[in-house]
Amino acid sequence: VALQQLVEPTIVPPPPIYWYLRGITTRKVEMMINDLLDEAIRIKGVSATESNIHQELSSIELKLDEITDDKERWVLRRRKARRTIFLSKNSQRWHGKMSSPKVAKENKHQIRETEHLLKLLMSSFSVNQRLTKNTCHLIS
């Protein structure tokens, strides 16, 4: 038994298991990011009754499921985030929603916490992608 045979399996898992685990972690991180974005939008006071917002978001989500390229998925995800923020700002202006300074301060704090968690998730996701790319090079 060579040293390489003893060490290599502990460092790099076999390809099928690796692909399976990568798929689970990628989906879980994407779900957590979407949940945090939805929570940030809810905190900012978006009206849940506007069907146009939900229709646009669902059409973008359908496109996301069809796309396999990571770059295209993230481009669509950014567009989705920009649209929801733009629509939420416009709906607040349209409905004339004003909140008390105390509520606004609490909302800002919640938004900061949510954005911080989102940044942590995004950074861990990018680290995970870098690790998976490195292991792909090691496998091949």
Q: Between residues 15 and 81, which one has the greater pLDDT?
A: 81
pLDDT digits (tens, 9 = 90+) for 4-62: 666 655 565 556 666 666 677 777 778 888 888 888 777 776 554 455 566 566 666 65
Residue 75: the pLDDT is 72
Q: Is the pLDDT confidence value at 138 over 70?
A: no
pLDDT digits (tens, 9 = 90+) for 117-135: 777 777 776 655 555 555 4
Instruction: List for the chain the helix, strand, coil content (%; round to 5).
Output: 85, 0, 15
d(CA 46, CA 110): 15
**What is the pTM for the complete model shown?**
0.27
Phi, psi dihedrals of residue 95, rounded to the nearest 5°: -85, -5
Residue 37: the pLDDT is 82
Q: Is the pLDDT confidence value at 95 over 50?
A: no
The ranges assigned to domains in the chain are 1-45+102-140, 49-96
